[in-house]
Amino acid sequence: MKLKISLALLLGAGSLFANQTLITKAKNAGLEAIPSNKSALMKLIDDPKDPITDAKVDLGKKLYFDPRLSKSNLISCNTCHNLGLGGADGIPVAIGHGWTANPHHLNSPTVYNSVFFKAQFWDGRSPHLQDQAAGPIQAAPEMAAPPELVVERINSIPAYVEEFKKAYGKDVKVDFDKITSAIATFERVLVTPSRFDKFLEGDTKALTKDEQEGLQTFLNKGCTACHTGVALGGTMQPFQVANQYKFINVGDFKGDENGMVKTPSLRNISETAPYFHNGQIWSLAEAVKEMGSVQLGIDISDSDATKIVTFLKALKGTKPAITYPQLPEVTSSTPKPSFN
């Protein structure tokens, strides 16, 4: 009996040691947790120049869901970055004003955890979340609304003007900068902690044995060469390092001037198919194998792809509770929608 108990204790200690070793290995590879401590999290997501407040978040949420920020009054930020669909839209190519498909055949990336991205947009042209909020509003194939139209619409709605005063002070000028700032503030709180974060913070039982094996495979194959940091992505990386992506000719996007492409976040990746910048792969296992070939120059077996996918599914996090807002009513002076 004593021998059996000793063996059980020994095996348990060995398992604990192995788990701790995997945590250390993951951290050494550059993987970081979304902090469970609120003050630590705020240090990562807050902007000292424009601090997060409840009033700003509530206002930003309304603007995020408001289709009147588009020229047609039909498209909101949530149209392409649907918070009920993993923060994306579930289609290969973003569709915007006048049912226009993105001219470069670009897929809508998730907005969840975008506060952790070092680069915004597929070509990484800005590091700022506010710029990401401002760009699609103005882009002709997306929301197609000139800043002056957006500003006129919002200022024509008294309830919005009052909310801006509540959020930014009674002397606030409700301009395009403040409008996009409020949206960005709302997006800053769209973080999704998962069991993986608990594991990185030391809870060795937060991931199952199979999920830990998947993480080990993920690390061993070298996936953290690109998918690292808090977001497990969101940085600019060279694309087609070892081989050509098999759907590279769908659309004309080739990255920035140096061929660099923003690495998608792997958080909630099981919810955000189809994959890649042009949305051509629907199977997560197939996407893993394609990345092995394109980026690492290796063949990832079906078995190893399945293991990695098991780990990736553990990155599905807890979403903030979002209640669809009731939006303030227009007035007779509010600019009418346009569809041309």
Write out the binding residues for heme c. 77, 80-81, 97, 223, 226-227, 291
Produce one character per residue of 305-324: b if its CB has 16 or more CB atoms within 10 Å, e if not.
Answer: bbbbbbbbbbbbbebeeeee
Catalytic-role residue among 142, 211, 271, 290: 142
- Residue 10 Cα distances to 19, 39, 204, 273, angstroms: 14, 38, 16, 43
Active site residue 148: no
Parallel, antiparallel, or unpaired: how do β-strands 100-101 and 260-262 relate?
unpaired
CB pairs under 8 A, 24+ apart, for 246-253?
Answer: 246/290, 247/276, 247/278, 247/280, 247/281, 250/105, 250/278, 250/280, 251/93, 251/102, 251/104, 251/105, 251/106, 251/277, 251/278, 252/104, 252/105, 253/104, 253/105, 253/106, 253/122, 253/123, 253/277, 253/278
**Residue 336 zone, left/alpha/beta (φ > 0; ψ -120 to 50; rest):** beta
Rounded to an integer, what distance in angstroms lies between the CA atom of residue 177 and that of residue 175? 5
CA angle, 333 then 78 then 94, to 5°: 110
User: What is the set of active-site residues?
Assistant: 142
